[in-house]
């Protein structure tokens, strides 16, 4: 099999194959090659390798495989740089002569061959151009033989270079081996917008990269369901609205409006799909998404929908429990009957009692006063709730009165040997007089003490001592101001009300102006 080595030239559209001819050239070496135009300076883009006769015929056709003369030396490299500089300096003269001749062409570049006795002028034109007079003018200007070469716009972009829409260097300049035809069908197959500014390259033609992924798109669409097809899912019907070809995924829109992405490899074909493919003689396309596929999706909406579906179907998911966690041996320390409790248990009991006291105090503070309940927040609460409060707790006076228990009465009851501070010495609640209650007579008839008629602290203590003595007989003394008979004290204190516009109409013996 023949051995070849690829070589790239500055003004060549693709790499050319040459016979290494025992020179030992490798990738990255500058070489001097023999071409049909003479000797040229190029760069080896690969190592020497062997190819078949069919590959060689396909690459060079009927042309002869030429040889690599030698690996370029330092003098050869310096000469190549000088020839390149001369070509750049010749471009202004080339453009001037083209403008003077009035020819419809675009100058691209001037290349001096390695021999130095020939210059090749490259130009781009849409049609054939008669440049015979131009060649004569350029020969008198450059004093070398002139060879005119017409190229296309794609070859022009490859020679000049540039950057594409993707931000990378042009493919034709960087690695392209040739210019394959590109059609608008390739853009349609890849679902690209048919906008010439978006699918055209720097040369003004369709981008070469449209051909790179065309086969992948065509293969994926040949295996995937058609767009707008209806897919069966556990959450209902789904409609295909989009393809993600690079990831081979399909975007479905469910009946609820949610969109999910499913891999084509995870979908399955139903029996109806197999039967239809056999009847029509076409490849079978999947049309069903299973429950296992939806469980693997990382979507909270899908997981909530699946949980709701399981609830409607009566399916419950019990959490997995490790068998080792079912039997856990716990040791509980018991308090000895005759000894003191450990320090840890004492602390826990103290913490529990303090928490209970705080909760009871918060509950009492939340109670509301209601008219007619004797000032207590809960009329149905037993008297033991007040007697069972902790003696060390500081309480407000209206809270004590609301509970119906007098601390002084309870203390006297304990001193007398009763041993209980329950509601035997309960006193009426302090009430405030209100206008129109006739000095508390209406409350006296109902058996409750009016507000503002509460006896003094000494009198309450004396009444508590008498009540404690009668508590043994099961009787509860009534306050003097509530006892019936002629000796019952009358409410003599009356609050004079007066003010502007009220006069003496609201009080007895008052002046019209409300004063004495």
Domain ranges of the chain: 3-72, 78-151, 175-217, 225-313
Q: Crossing angle for the helix pair 132-142 and 74-101, nearest 10 degrees? A: 130
Contact 200, 206 (CB under 8 A): yes
Closest CA to 124 of 142, 109, 140: 109
For residue 384, the model assigns a pLDDT of 45
Phi, psi of 71 (to 5 degrees): -80, 135
- pLDDT for 496 equals 54
- In angstroms, how far is CA 94 from the centroid of its own chain? 61
Q: Are strands 249-254 and 106-112 parallel, antiparallel or unpaired?
A: unpaired
C-alpha 26/C-alpha 48 separation (Å) is 7
pLDDT for 112 equals 92
Buried b / exposed e over 374-386, threshold 16 CB at 10 Å, is bbbbeeeeeeebb
Q: How many CB atoms lie within 10 A of CB 418?
A: 17
pLDDT in tens, the chain (516 residues): 888 999 988 888 778 899 998 888 999 999 999 888 888 999 998 899 988 888 888 878 778 888 999 999 999 999 999 999 999 999 999 999 999 999 989 999 999 998 888 899 999 988 888 899 999 999 999 999 999 999 888 888 888 888 888 888 888 888 766 677 888 999 988 888 888 888 888 888 888 888 888 999 999 998 999 888 999 999 889 999 999 998 999 999 998 888 999 999 999 988 888 888 888 888 888 989 998 888 888 888 888 888 888 888 887 655 555 555 555 555 665 555 544 555 555 555 555 555 555 555 555 555 555 554 444 444 444 444 444 444 444 555 544 444 444 444 444 444 444 444 444 444 555 555 556 655 555 555 555 555 555 566 777 777 777 665 555 555 555 555 545 444 444 445 555 555 554 444 444 444 444 443
The pLDDT, as a whole number, for residue 416 is: 43
Q: What is the pLDDT of residue 425?
A: 44
Q: Which residues, listed in sequence order, are joined to residue 32 by a DSSP beta bridge?
A: 41, 70
Q: Per residue, what are the HEC states of 398-425? A: HHHHHHCCCHHHHHHHHHCCCCCCCHHH
pTM of the model: 0.49
Task: Tell me how far apart the terminal alpha carbons of the chain are, to the nearest angstrom.
Answer: 141
DSSP 126-157: SS----HHHHHHHHHHHSSEEEEEEE-HHHHH
pLDDT of residue 318: 57
Class in CATH terms, 225-313: mainly beta
């Amino acid at each position: 099999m023949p051995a070849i080595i690829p070589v790239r030239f500055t003004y060549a559209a693709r790499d050319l194959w040459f016979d290494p001819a025992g020179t030992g050239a490798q990738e990255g070496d500058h070489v001097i090659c023999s071409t049909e135009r003479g000797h040229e300076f190029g760069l080896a883009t690969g190592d020497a390798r062997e190819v078949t006769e069919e590959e060689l015929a396909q690459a060079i056709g009927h042309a002869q495989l030429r040889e690599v003369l030698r690996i370029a030396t330092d003098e050869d490299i310096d000469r190549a740089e000088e020839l390149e500089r001369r070509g750049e300096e010749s471009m202004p003269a080339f453009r001037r002569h083209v403008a003077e001749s009035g020819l419809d062409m675009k100058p691209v570049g001037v290349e001096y061959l390695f021999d130095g006795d020939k210059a090749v002028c490259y130009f781009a034109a849409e049609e054939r151009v008669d440049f015979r007079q131009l060649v004569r003018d350029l020969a008198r200007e450059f004093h070398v033989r002139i060879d005119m070469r017409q190229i296309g716009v794609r070859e022009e972009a490859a020679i000049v270079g540039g950057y594409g829409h993707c931000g990378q260097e042009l493919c034709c300049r960087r690695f392209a081996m040739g210019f394959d035809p590109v059609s608008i069908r390739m853009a349609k197959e890849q679902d690209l917008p048919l906008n010439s500014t978006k699918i055209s390259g720097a040369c003004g033609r369709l981008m070469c990269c449209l051909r790179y992924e065309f086969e992948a798109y065509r293969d994926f669409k040949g295996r995937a369901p058609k767009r707008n097809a209806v897919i069966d899912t556990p959450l209902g019907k789904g409609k295909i609205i989009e393809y993600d070809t690079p990831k081979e995924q399909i975007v479905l829109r469910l009946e609820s409006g949610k969109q999910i992405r499913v891999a084509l490899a995870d979908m399955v074909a139903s029996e109806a799909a197999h039967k239809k493919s056999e009847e029509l003689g076409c490849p079978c396309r999947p049309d069903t998404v299973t429950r296992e596929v939806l469980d693997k999706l990382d979507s909270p909406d899908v997981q909530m929908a699946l949980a709701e579906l399981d609830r409607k179907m009566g399916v419950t998911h019990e959490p997995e429990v490790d068998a080792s966690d079912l039997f856990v041996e716990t040791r509980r320390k018991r308090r000895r009957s005759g000894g003191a409790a450990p320090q840890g248990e004492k602390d826990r009991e103290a913490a529990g009692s303090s928490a209970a006291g705080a909760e009871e105090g918060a509950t009492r503070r939340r109670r509301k006063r209601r008219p007619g309940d004797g000032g207590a927040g809960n009329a149905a609460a037993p008297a033991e709730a007040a007697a069972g409060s902790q003696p060390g707790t500081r309480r407000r006076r209206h809270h004590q009165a609301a509970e119906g228990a007098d601390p002084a009465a309870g203390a006297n009851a304990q001193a007398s040997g009763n041993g209980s501070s329950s509601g035997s010495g309960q006193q009426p609640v302090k009430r405030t007089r209100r206008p129109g209650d006739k000095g508390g007579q209406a409350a006296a008839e109902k058996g409750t003490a009016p507000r503002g008629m509460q006896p003094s602290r000494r009198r309450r203590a004396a009444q508590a001592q008498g009540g404690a003595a009668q508590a043994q007989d099961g009787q509860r003394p009534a306050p003097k101001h509530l006892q019936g008979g002629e000796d019952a004290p009358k409410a003599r204190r009356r609050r004079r009300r007066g003010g502007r516009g009220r006069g003496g109409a609201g009080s007895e013996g008052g002046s019209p102006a409300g004063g004495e």
